[in-house]
Chains A and B, each alone.
Chain A
Amino acid sequence: DQQVKQNSPSLSVQEGRISILNCDYTNSMFDYFLWYKKYPAEGPTFLISISSIKDKNEDGRFTVFLNKSAKHLSLHIVPSQPGDSAVYFCAAASRRGSQGNLIFGKGTKLSVKP
């Protein structure tokens, strides 16, 4: 059973508009969440993270929101740029539990059109 779910396989957005990528999780032991960006033929690169003691973390154009009661997080990209076109993975970990491993969602392919 999937512990981290990204239910939208793809998302298309116009340049300059907001991109919102969603992620749900089922394991209440998760207390640390990360977003990764992946271009074809490259490894994933770390984008932004949030711990369960916060409900928002912002880094430039990227903001991650965490709703613990709903077990839901989202990544907002404002404004979206064509270079943001990539696959975005949501990942979760339990810092109090098994260290050293992340559980990933299946990814959402974002296309930002000029």
Chain B
Amino acid sequence: NAGVTQTPKFQVLKTGQSMTLQCAQDMNHEYMSWYRQDPGMGLRLIHYSVGAGITDQGEVPNGYNVSRSTTEDFPLRLLSAAPSQTSVYFCASSQPGGEGDGYTFGSGTRLTVV
């Protein structure tokens, strides 16, 4: 049972380059989200999706695009990388329901923009 899979685990980009962080889940979860974690800042929501074809912005969406064409996949696109986007990125999925249905997180992608 793979859960939430993020690729790549590590990436170094030059300023201005674009790339896509991949996220896939095999639990048939409706909800998927992208967070970034920075020192002293906790986890901040970038974008989220409540189902295929539906996405919305979180707290820090600027510089990022998402799409949700299938239930399983939720890629995060960096359009023109900037040093301020150096961070650890986590993808998460969940299924709405009763108490205890916590989110499942991937193991993260550590991105450095130079």
Task: Give residues in A with beta carbon < 8 Å to B.
Answer: 6, 9, 32, 34, 36, 41-47, 49-51, 54, 57, 89, 91, 95, 98-107
Contact = CB atoms under 8 A, between A and B. Distances in A.
A43 B50 contact: no
Contacts, number: 70
Interface residues of B, number: 32
A54 to B, nearest CB: 8
B56 interface: yes
Contacts of A34: 102-103
Contact of A49 (B41, B90, B99): B99
B13 to A, nearest CB: 20
A18 to B, nearest CB: 23
Interface string B55-82: 0101100000000000000000000000
